[in-house]
Amino acid sequence: MRQHLIRCALMRGGTSKGAYFLAADLPASPEERDALLLSIMGSPDATQIDGLGGGHPLRSKVAIVSPSTAPDADVDFLFAQVSVEESLVDTSPNCGNILAGVGPFAIERGLVAAQAGTTTVRVRTLNTGAIADLEVCTPDGAVAYDGDARIAGVPGTAAPVRISFRDVAGSVCGALLPTGNTSDIAGGVRVTCIDNGMPVVIIAAASVGSKGYESVAELNAGTELKARLEAIRRVAGRLMGMGDVANKVVPKVSLIAPAQHGGCVATRNFIPHTCHTAIGVFAALSVATACLLPGSVAEGIAAVGDGDEQLLSLEHPTGEFEVYLDADRSQPIPVIRRGGMLRTARMIFDGVAYAHANYQSRQRRPS
C-alpha cells in the first residue's frame, strides 16, 4: 500500500505553528478527516516524531480553508487542535494565532486576489461563526513576509497582519458571561468565566497560591497547582454550559496578577494543561475584556484607564500582548463593539504531506 499525498503548507501564525490545507483536498467525512490529520501530525505520540507536529499544543494545529458561502466573508476557516498524546482532534475552539496565517494562505492559494499595497481578507471562523478582517501586506500584488513588526514570543521581525474582530462575544458559549455573572465560585475559588472569542476561566493567581510571575517551566512542573486548576476548570466548564470539559481544550485558564512592567495585567495562561509561553489571540481578547468589567476577578488587579477606547497590554512570560478594545462602558456590563491586535505570519513550507497508507485503521479504538 502507498502512503497518501495531500497538498499542505506549514506556516507560523502568531506564536503558533500549524499545517494549512484547502478543505477540498481533505476527506469530507469528519471521522476520516480527523484520522488523516492525526496521521499527518504524528499523533498520538509525545514527540510526534512520525509527523509534522512539534510535540507541543502550540505546534500541533491545523487550518482548513475554503471559499466562503457567507456574503460578508471571503473565506471560511475551520481550526483543529490536534492532541499530541491522544487520538483526538478538537474543532470546538478557535485560534487567533493560526487565524493570522489564513489571510496570507488564502492569497497564496488564489482564493483571494492580492491588491496593491495591502489586501483585506474577510475570514469567517466556522468553529464559532466569528468574522475577522485581516489586513495583509501585499506590495507588488504578492504576500510580503518580511517587515518591521515584532511580536513577543517570535524572534526577529516580520510583516504585520492586522486583525480586527466583529461580534465575537459569546462565540462558543452564546454569551459574553456564560454564567450570567461577572464572578462565580468554582472549586472553592472566585473566578470570572468569560467568552469574547474564547471561553476563559480567569483566576487571581494569589487565590491558588501562585505569584503569577513564575516561569513556564516552573508552572509546568507544578503538578499540584495544575491538578487544582484542572479541577476548577472542570467545575467552571459546567457552570458555563459546556458540560464535561475533561476531554476538551476549552475553556482555557488564565492566572492574573498586577502588572510588573507598566502593562495592564500580568498573565500566566494554560491551554488548558500546559502553560503557554505567551497568550493566545482569543484568550487575550477575553482576558482584556474581563479587565473592563466591574465586579470581575480582574477588578482591583488590572490597571485600566477611562474612556471607551483602550489599548491594553497583557504581560506574559515572553513579553506583552497588546489588545485594542472599543467598548460602550456606559452600560453596567460594557458592550464590546470591536477588538483587534497585530500579529505576524510566515510561510515555512509548501508542498505535500504524507499520511500513512493505513491511517484510518491506525486511529480506530477497540469498541
For the stretch 57-97, pLDDT in tens is: 999 999 999 999 999 999 999 999 999 999 999 998 889 99
* Residues 272, 355 share a domain: no
* Residues 322, 199 share a domain: yes
Residue 27 falls inside a structural domain: yes
Contacts of 366 (CB under 8 A, 6+ apart): none
* Residues 19, 156 share a domain: yes
pLDDT digit string, tens, across residues 249-277: 999 999 999 999 999 999 999 999 999 99
Residue closest to 121 by CA, chosen among 65, 167, 169: 65
- Provide the whole-model pTM: 0.78
CATH (domain of 96): 3.10.310.10
Total count of domains within the chain: 2
* Residues 162, 31 share a domain: yes
Which stretch, 1-5, 162-166, 168-172, 232-236, has highest mean pLDDT? 232-236
- pLDDT at residue 345 tops 60: yes
Q: Which domain holds residue 289?
A: 184-332
Residue closest to 274 by CA, chosen among 12, 49, 13, 16: 16
- Name the β-bridge partners of 87: none
- One-character DSSP codes across 58-94: GGSEEEEEEE--STT-SEEEEEEEE-SSSS-EE-SS-
* Residues 27, 162 share a domain: yes
